[in-house]
Amino acid sequence: MRLKGKVAIVTGSARGLGKAMALKMAAEGAKVVVCDLNYEGCLDVKEEIEQAGGTALAVRCDVTKREEVAALVAQTMDKFSQIDILVNNAGITRDAQIIKMTDQQWDEVLDTNLKSMFICIQEVIKVMIPRNYGRIVNITSIAALEGNFGQANYSAAKAGIIGLTKTLSKELGRKGITINAVAPGFMDTEMTKTIPPHIQEQLLARIPLRRAGRPEEAAEAVVFLASDAASYITGQTLSVNGGLYV
């Protein structure tokens, strides 16, 4: 088990990619804190982990609010006494062409997808730095690398994650903390199922592997970067996109 004895917080893990990451990390031996605004979903994932023999804690948390993130860290420490891994996965979309995009749509996406990572990292490294150990994995997107029509807010936030990751690798490396990003492409999740069928067909035609990615495939990349096998990797962005963008 690659994460045996580790404690991992996974934000936005009540469903989709985050759920797959939480389940995979638990299967690899980590004690997992399932964190999301959807508390019922957190409880369902926690139950699934425990039924498989793992250990989990469900916490409702709005990662855009510092006081709630601080409480998340405190609850994790009360339960497990350590935090080894942070996976910043929480994210939303509020799509619109730039001429029609509102301030609210811009602010909501930037706050949830980018500022939340700033808050979560700041709060979690308070625990990691004294132990001189930590693994942080930030979930960005193919939209950060090639842009996406109607997603100026989302693409900007996801690109910001890559810059944040690179900068913090320089700041936190001396503290024993690695920080990397994973950039999924077109994945088979609840979010992509809302894309009109003809657009999905166009996307699939561009992918050399000719299929959407499975959430478990993104989760594998996250587990690798969170494990000691990646101990000399930091500041990097690992694309999981089937060749859609190379």
Active site residues: 154
Q: Report the C-alpha gap between 39 and 1 in whole angstroms.
A: 28
Pick from 214, 207, 215, 216: which is nearest to 242 by CA? 207
- Strand (E) or helix (H) holding 71: helix 66-80
Beta strands at 56-60 and 85-88: parallel, antiparallel or unpaired: unpaired
Q: Report the C-alpha gap between 191 and 221 in whole angstroms.
A: 20
**Is-contact 86 9, C-beta < 8 A?**
yes
**Is-contact 123 47, C-beta < 8 A?**
no
